Amino acid sequence: MSKKKQEEQEIAEETNNTDEVIADVKSENSDTEEKEEVKKELTTEEQLAVEKDKNLRLFAEFENFRRRNAKERIELFTTANKDIMTILLPILDNFERSIKANNYSDEDGPVLIYKQLKAELEKKGLKEIDNPNGKELDTDFHEAITNIPAPSDELKGKIIDTIEKGYLLGGKVLRYAKVVVGNKE
């Protein structure tokens, strides 16, 4: 082979090698570009997921706020009359004492007024705690004023007498029933 052909062959080989190197670099660049695109897509998908999560949390927080607000509003309406009711309870007690002391019949004026007042208060959510006499002391509804010796064995540890009636307003205790409890000894 002539020297000229050899040089041409070497140049051709170098050109082929250069082309291969260029092709390799292009391949690597395209792989890198694909990887970057995948990263961008993942990043975009991750960002979308993060934003969706934030949105869901914000929505859930708003729903909780709305429910809590509605519950507080309902409680406010049911207990809005609490102060007035508390003021009227001694008046109800005095009416009952007066009716008992004067032996009024059901058709007398004070009894009719008492029943009307009590009915109107019940419409507003006031409810009398059931007569607890003979039942176990329940500190959720009763306040023990004193202990006395039980008149019989079956009344030991139970309520013997009610000094003052208890009342509920909207299911919550407005005034505890004041009671006398029999000693267990």
pLDDT beyond 60 at 15: no
DSSP code of 136? B
Domain residue extents for the chain: 1-80, 81-124, 126-185
Q: Of 12-21, 34-43, 168-177, which has the strongest mean pLDDT?
A: 168-177
Query: pLDDT: is 184 or 128 the higher one?
Result: 128
pLDDT bracket for residue 31 (50, 70, 90): low
Q: Which amino acid is at 16?
A: N
**Angle in degrees, 0-180, between the axes of helices 109-123 and 82-102, rounded to the nearest 10:** 150
Which burial class, exposed, middle or buried, applies to 85 when counting CB atoms under 10 A from its CB (0-12, 13-18, 19+)?
Answer: buried
> CA quadruple 124, 121, 85, 139: dihedral positive or negative?
negative
Alpha carbons 89 and 143: distance in angstroms, whole number: 16
Record the tokens describing residue 113, joined without a space.
Answer: 């007024």
CA 159, distance to chain mean position in Å, is 35
156: left (phi over 0), alpha (psi -120 to 50) or beta: beta
DSSP secondary structure code for residue 153 in this structure: G
Q: Which DSSP category does 147 fall into?
A: E
92-98 average pLDDT score: 91
Cα–Cα distance list, 185 to 22, 136, 155, 157 (Å): 105, 16, 11, 9
* Mean of pLDDT values over 148-158: 81
Per-residue pLDDT band at 30 (split at 50, 70, 90): low
Q: Hey, which CATH number is domain 126-185, 3.30.460.20, 2.30.22.10, 3.40.1670.10, 1.10.10.350?
A: 2.30.22.10
**What is the arithmetic mean of pLDDT over 141-162?**
85
Question: Model pTM?
Answer: 0.58
Please state, in angstroms and rounded to a whole number, the distance separating the CA atoms of residues 147 and 36: 84
Confidence check: pLDDT of 4 > 80: no
Backbone angles phi, psi at 81, to 5 degrees: -90, 10
Number of residues in the chain: 185
